[in-house]
A = this chain, B = another copy of it.
Amino acid sequence: MSILVVGSVAFDSVETPHGKVDHCLGGAATYFALAASNFTPVRVIGVVGEDFMPRHEKVLTDRGIDTRGIEHAPGLSFHWTGSYVHSLNEAKTLGTDLNVFAAFEPKIPAEYRDSEYLFLANIDPVLQLRVRSEMPRVKLVCGDTMNYWIADHRENLLKVLHVLDVLLINDGEAKMLSGESNLLKAAAKVMELGPKMLVVKHGEYGATAFFCDRSFAGAKSISLPFRAPALPLAEVVDPTGAGDSFAGGFYGYLASQPELTPAVFRTAMFYGGVMGSFAVEQFGTERLQSVTRKEIEERFQLFRGISHLE
């Protein structure tokens, strides 16, 4: 089934201990779409500027991604400059040039209206909410956010949380959003805000899925979460997009399945880790552009092998 993703399509200039790239294709929706497209059809809504060339769009269309919802506006594309020179675990933002993204007004093309899965990547909660309300009949809604929206746009963000099925955030965001330092307590508080499922990403330590008490994925209680591993990697070339790629693997797998069972949610957590582990192997979206379904399946078995007793 088709996923509709709304979010940033951008250019990144990144420095890591492995080198430097200038203006490579990036953005949350880009990483998400590339990762998810291995599992299911993906449609993108975003805005780009005049620096977004046919060769950039080809990166997406080559993987079967529907780009008809990417609006071309006068001016430059969103450009993020960051450094991981001091720590591969946290980006130091050196510059955020919103450019055409500052006036982003998501428009849903008619041919996208039958999408059954909606992914609201990390953008202004006001826009997330608007897109959500325009897609009332989707089967599942999953969203991401970040510390900036949690701290300074909390009221709007809370409205989004009310209409989300799945929220994907990292440890720091879960703690910030809940005011709790204990992961389990933080998860319980976050799910009181609306989401029926919460995925908390722990970087190199994997991710934990929490299910609320209500009937969702057959879960009875948040006291029995699910922990998926991350692959210990000797070389993390560029961590940019790891979280969005996790989301793409997770949500892409879900959308590819005929039924959402507890086993499907667990497997999706593993595919999230798998796609995140590919994303960081090369700069930018390079690795996601070349990865094959066979490699994905092999790595899935590797994830299973490093975490299962037999």
Which of B88, B227, B236 interacts with A306 by CB under 8 Å? B227
Work out how many copies of this chain go into the complex: 2
Residues of B within 8 A of A302 (CB): 224
* Number of chain A interface residues as a range: 35 or more
Is A185's CB within 8 Å of the partner chain B? yes
Q: From A229, which residue of chain B is reached at the shortest CB distance?
A: B227
Shortest C-beta distance, A152 to chain B (Å), equals: 27
Residues of B within 8 A of A184 (CB): 232-234
Residues of B within 8 A of A235 (CB): 182
Restricting to A190-244, which residues have a CB under 8 Å from any CB of B? 202, 204-206, 208, 223-230, 232-236
Is A266's CB within 8 Å of the partner chain B? yes
Shortest C-beta distance, A38 to chain B (Å), equals: 19
Complexed CA–CA distance, A229 and B185 (Å)? 18
Residues of B within 8 A of A263 (CB): 309-310
Taking a contact as CB atoms under 8 Å apart, the answer to whether B223 and A234 are in contact is yes
Residues of B within 8 A of A187 (CB): 232
Is A13's CB within 8 Å of the partner chain B? no
Complexed CA–CA distance, A302 and B224 (Å)? 8
Give the B-binding residues of A (Cβ under 8 A).
88, 181-185, 187-188, 202, 204-206, 208, 223-230, 232-236, 263, 266-267, 270, 302, 304-310
Which 5 A-B residue pairs are closest in the complex by CB-CB distance? A205-B205, A227-B229, A184-B234, A184-B232, A227-B307
